[in-house]
Chain A
Amino acid sequence: MERFYGLLRRNLKRRMTDGFAFGYNIVFPLVLIGVLGVLLRGSFPEQITSYQYYAVVMIPFCTCMGVVTIMYAGKEDAFAKTGERVMMTPVSKVEIVSTKVFAGTLILGGCACLVYAVARGFFGLPGEGMAEILLFYFLLSFAVSGVGTFLGIAMKNFMVLKNVVTIPISILGVMAGVFFRVGSSSLVVERILSCSFLRWGNKALFLAMYDGDGTLLRRISVICVCIGSISMLGAVKRFRKEEYIYGDLPSA
């Protein structure tokens, strides 16, 4: 356990000193909430203000975008040439992978909770189901960290993946109504839009906050735990010493 805590502390320290993680997950969402809130303040129904809407949808979106920083975290030992030293110590690959996932979870989840607290204070987000919502942010972060670590540690074509991973997330974000509301009463269209997992997350958050119904949020939280766990196991299974130590070599 001592080795686990040692590695976790080291990973947390690295994540905390990583300005990009904070920029992406605190500054970026707050700026977007402010800007889009001002620009589109007249185009929302009486149930919600534009600031509240963008606060709700922007936090999960930015948490998902954080997958890039987690992917790089998976390769940071190779980039910093410290992979060999880590491999010489008596730590198992389970410990290496899990500490990366948990450090990412704590930082991404912490950032999401901070943005939520600021949005609640400044824009008056309803306090309904707060505990469940905060837990959901951490579990979503767990899923994102799991997937990010898997992509960073276990995938050979990291150089290509790191370049394009944010684009599909942005498209799914647009389908989820992150930048403008995309709603439809048609069943077919709703099914197409439902392909975006972010849309489910947003719906669950709105239901919990504005209709007091946390059922969907709890279900999605369970799915997040499953995705995170499966990705973590996948990363452990596909962990390759050589890739971990020398994985910074470009393929082109």
Chain B
Amino acid sequence: MGIFLVLRNNTRRNFRKRSTYVLFVAIPLMVLLFGMVSENIKQKSYVIGVISEQSLEWGAVPEGIRVVSIKPEHANTEVIMGNCDVVVTKDALEKEIQRNTKHTKREREEGKEKKNVMKQMLGMVCTVYFVFATLYASKVIRDKKEGGLARFEYAGGKRVEYYMGNLLSTFIVVFCQVAMVLVVLWMVYGENVISGRSAALLALCISLVSAMVGGIVAALAKSELGANVSVTIFAVLCSVFGGTFLAVEQMPGILGMIGKCSPIYWMICLLG
């Protein structure tokens, strides 16, 4: 009964702030939007930067190669930031084009490419929901400080019931948000990349794991700032090791093993 009371009360509190609820759906959607944009902006050709004071037209170049003008004082920075693959002088341009013509045709399997981007985006969405779930669950810190938890115990409730009720209410609110985000994702990408069943399973798993992470962090943290900072660091590390930026299979030695311990790796695996 205690669990149910806390669940009902905290669920009401979670849904009361509509602006926060909308924001917590909008932010992951923005992450996904960014993923879709970045999928289209990725370099699909080999870019040769030619050192030149003025912006010049480079005429016809073979398919798969682009030539752009680079200011001499920006040569290293353009390569480092990934705006071009190599920087050469005007005289060396012809040679560089010939050298790269054969192996620059980056033919992409459309479906496979989309799936990889989708995996990255999913990793980021999980990271974001770890943080959001903690923010919802950290109500318990405020309740401890303001005496809400003590009142619950005076009324005969047990502390563990309070934590369980809080965890379940966090799960419910996060599940509603994740489900909305995944429905949008499914509508955009379609069955080829994510099936309806996978989406449902993912929504369940992401909300369950996020609620558990949030519940544990909130129960252990002494302040809201502590919970906020700890979960951000934990979520980013899980994301880095879990294959959001580099597939776990490509990670060297022990890092690959650590990666498999990250909950985000298993979420990404659910995509297939």
Contact = CB atoms under 8 A, between A and B. Distances in A.
Interface of A: 20, 23-24, 28, 31-32, 35-36, 38-40, 44-45, 47-48, 53, 65, 68-69, 72, 160, 162-164, 166-168, 171, 174-175, 177, 179-186, 189-190, 192, 202-203, 206-207, 210-213, 250, 252
B149 to A, nearest CB: 15
A40 B16 contact: no
A10 B81 CA distance: 42
B interface majority secondary structure: helix
Nearest to A215: B73
A237 B233 CA distance: 34
Given A48-B80, A160-B19, A210-B76, A166 B68 contact: no
B135 A163 contact: yes
**Range of interface residues on B (Cβ < 8 Å):** 35 or more
A185 B251 contact: no
Contact of A164 (B27, B47, B74, B79): B27
B16 A20 contact: no
B81 A181 contact: yes
Given A69-B229, A250-B142, A189 B41 contact: yes
Nearest to A43: B246
B34 A171 contact: yes
Contact of A252 (B13, B75, B77): B13
Contacts of B73: 207, 211-213
A23 B236 CA distance: 14
Interface in B75-126: 75-77, 79-86, 124
Interface of B: 13, 16-17, 19-20, 23-24, 27, 30-31, 34, 37-38, 41, 43, 47, 49, 66, 68, 73-77, 79-86, 124, 128, 131-132, 135, 142, 146, 224-226, 228-229, 232-233, 236-237, 240-241, 244-246, 251-252, 255
A179 B156 CA distance: 49
B119 to A, nearest CB: 13
B240 A202 contact: no
A168 B74 CA distance: 29
A76 to B, nearest CB: 9
B34 A174 contact: yes
B83 A167 contact: no
A14 to B, nearest CB: 12
16 contacts: A20-B225, A20-B226, A32-B240, A38-B252, A47-B80, A48-B76, A69-B225, A69-B229, A166-B232, A168-B27, A177-B81, A192-B41, A206-B80, A207-B73, A207-B74, A211-B73
Contact of A39 (B75, B224, B251): B251
B76 A68 contact: no
Nearest to A65: B232
B77 A35 contact: no
Given A40-B245, A166-B232, A175-B34, 13 more contacts: A20-B229, A48-B76, A160-B23, A163-B228, A166-B131, A177-B81, A177-B82, A181-B81, A182-B82, A183-B82, A185-B83, A210-B77, A213-B73
A156 B132 CA distance: 21
- A-B pairs with lowest CB-CB distance, top 9: A183-B82, A181-B82, A210-B76, A206-B77, A189-B41, A183-B83, A20-B229, A163-B135, A185-B47
A202 B81 CA distance: 9
Given A183-B43, A211-B73, A160 B17 contact: yes
Contacts of B84: 183, 185
A213 B241 CA distance: 35
Nearest to B27: A167
A171 B31 contact: yes
Contacts of A38: 252, 255
Contacts of A24: 229, 233
A166 B27 CA distance: 11
Contacts of A47: 76, 79-80
Most chain A CB atoms below 10 A, which of B34, B81, B232: B81
Given A160-B20, A206-B76, A182 B38 contact: yes
Contacts of A175: 34
Contacts of B132: 163
A171 B30 contact: yes
Contact of B240 (A23, A35, A44, A65): A35
